[in-house]
A and B are shown apart, each in its own frame.
Chain A
Amino acid sequence: MSALDPDAPMVELAGVHKWYGDNHVLRGVDLVVPRGTVTVVLGPSGSGKSTALRCINQLEEIGAGCIRVEGELQGYREGTRRGEDVLYRLHPKQIAVQRARVGMVFQRFNLFPHMTALANVMEAPVQVLGVSKAEARERASALLERVGLSDRLDHYPSQLSGGQQQRVAIARALAMEPDLMLFDEPTSALDPELVGEVLGVMRDLATSGMTMIVVTHEIGFAREVADQVVFMADGAVVEHGPVSQVIDAPTEPRTQDFLAHVL
């Protein structure tokens, strides 16, 4: 049983492949995300950015390769049978434990519509971690205050603007005290004037030292906070490195082409 390794990078993808039926969506993705850094993932539509994030959080099963979070193999346990190295699939309960260490923010928020903002944020700590309701409430209101929503605790998602909903969603993910946060185009469903408030919260989070992987088209955000920029195309990482390299001086023609369209 591989344990958490404090010296390992936060995330490590090695030769990750993913097929949907015959559709070969990820074609050998390699990626290393050091602890406490922000990685921004860019790439054209359909290049597999969302799929890669979903594989890290085990919302999708990978077809080949391996994913490690804090040094721990995700979804499988390494062992031997009859002298051969084999992988044992983890029980759903163990997968749930691994997932709880990774927070995810979706493009379409996916807040629980039948719960207030406060209840949304309290839900997982109470149901998964077994935190008492009183303590969860206290932590949830502190988190909602942190994302600037202390006056919206009792509102249902339908009574909140898109930007406010996404900030609740971030607070909900943070309530599990994850080691890693994944953002899949967190601002692309928002009206332009609401994008800033969400990016502001994410900027603060990055400053606080959270390890983040962010799929976004917000090049300005990438310039400001990204320690590493990854450009994906056709299911593979084409180019990666600091902003100064990937955004300001891309060497790959596909990156240059993409940036010419986005900027």
Chain B
Amino acid sequence: MTTPTAAKTPAPEPQRIHAIPVRYPGRWISAAVVVVLAAMVANALITNDVFQWSTVGEYLFSAPILRGVSWTLILTVASMAIAIVLAVVLAVMRRSSNPVMRYVSWVYIWFFRGTPIYTQLAFWGYASVIYHNLSLGIPFGPAFVTFDTAVVLNATRAAILGLALNEAAYLAEIVRAGLQSVDRGQSEAARALGMKDGRILWRVVLPQAMRVIVPPTGNETISMLKTTSLVLAVPFILDLNYAQAAIGNRLFQPVPLLVVAAIWYLAITSILMVGQFYLERYYGRGFDEHVPRRGRRGRQAAINSAHTTADPSPLDGVTP
């Protein structure tokens, strides 16, 4: 309350509010329900003999499983890397002023999205049977170099290529959406500065598009991690899923090995999610005002120095 005397006498220390918080019984009830459900699940997992937790422990870090994990990682990383590069090329072609480029890109995306990945992988496996030799040269004319397809396109390469070519079609649409999300004024400003199209794409448009591209690409990477189990179609038989199934069949105990595989897939997915978090933060720079470069300390210092908020320090009233 403002009174006419307030200006003369020093302002009295305002009485702080110590209100009783609102109770939310719903939170407690839901927490209790979740705890009970979790206990039931744990009970069902631990007490059922089928899971054979000792077997799970025995095989979790066994050599064939670890080798399967590393092959699955190699397939995922290699095919995603190739797919991302190809996807950027396809997306740029899709936006090109050259109609041939646009058409080629469209047909590629149409074909590889429109046929099943399993079929494509099987095809790459048969490629060396269909074409014994690959040659570089003039069509219907002489060849300059010739390769043996079975050597060039061994099972590993066929698997990586098959996964990458299919994935590129999906990623191309994601990249295209990202490029479209960048304001036209950005490339206009860059053009006005005399930058050429390639530089504008690489330095101005793509870095901003990444903000839109990264989250769905993270999704695709996690999806790819599990799609690698389809390389059996090539056939490529060193990945985690095949290793797991082989041991499970040999022991006549499929379930514990399925659990082993699930644990590994979950662990890798978690690591990928951490990586995605940092990528998103990197490409969000300049967009998210709440994460300034100097971090929260600088922000808090700025707020404090503005003296617009009450300092919770108990010494507040003591300082002169």
Contact = CB atoms under 8 A, between A and B. Distances in A.
Interface of A: 57, 59, 92-93, 96-97, 99-104, 106, 108, 110-116, 123-124, 127-128, 154, 156-159, 169, 172-173, 176
B189 to A, nearest CB: 4
A222 to B, nearest CB: 23
A114 B183 CA distance: 13
Contacts of B207: 114
B292 A159 contact: yes
Q: Which among B194, B196, B287, B293 has the greatest number of chain A C-beta atoms within 10 A? A: B194
Contacts of A157: 286
Interface in B58-99: none
Nearest to A129: B194
B185 A124 contact: no
Contacts of B186: 110, 112
B148 interface: no
9 contacts: A96-B196, A106-B185, A110-B185, A114-B287, A124-B195, A127-B195, A128-B194, A169-B189, A173-B193
A103 B193 CA distance: 7
Interface in B192-228: 192-197, 199, 203-204, 207-208
B286 A156 contact: yes
Interface string B285-298: 11101001100000
A57 B192 CA distance: 7
B281 interface: no
Contacts of B292: 156, 159
B86 to A, nearest CB: 24
A114 B192 contact: no
Contact of B193 (A108, A115, A116, A128): A128
A99 B185 CA distance: 16
B286 A176 contact: no
Q: Which among A97, A99, A114 has the greatest number of chain B C-beta atoms within 10 A? A: A114
B289 A112 contact: no
A104 B20 CA distance: 60
A92 B193 contact: no
Q: Which among B186, B203, B283, B286 has the greatest number of chain A C-beta atoms within 10 A? A: B286
B308 to A, nearest CB: 18
Contact of B289 (A96, A127, A154, A158): A158
The 3 closest A-B pairs by CB, nearest first: A100-B194, A110-B189, A156-B286
Contact of A110 (B188, B194, B199): B188
B208 A113 contact: yes
B191 interface: yes
A96 B195 contact: yes
Given A100-B194, A114-B208, 4 more contacts: A92-B197, A96-B194, A128-B196, A156-B285
A188 B289 CA distance: 24
B193 A123 contact: yes
B83 to A, nearest CB: 24
A124 B286 contact: no
Contacts of A111: 189
Given A114-B286, A158-B286, A100 B193 contact: yes
Interface string B264-306: 0000000000000000000101110100110000000000000
B214 to A, nearest CB: 13
Contacts of B196: 92-93, 96, 128
Contacts of B193: 99-100, 103, 123-124, 128, 172-173, 176
B194 A112 contact: no
A154 to B, nearest CB: 6
Nearest to B185: A110
B194 A123 contact: no
Nearest to B210: A114
Contacts of A59: 188, 191-192
B161 to A, nearest CB: 33
A7 to B, nearest CB: 25
A215 to B, nearest CB: 15
B287 A99 contact: no
A141 to B, nearest CB: 17
A130 to B, nearest CB: 12
B287 A113 contact: yes
Given A113-B286, A114-B286, A115-B286, A97 B185 contact: no
Contacts of B283: 114
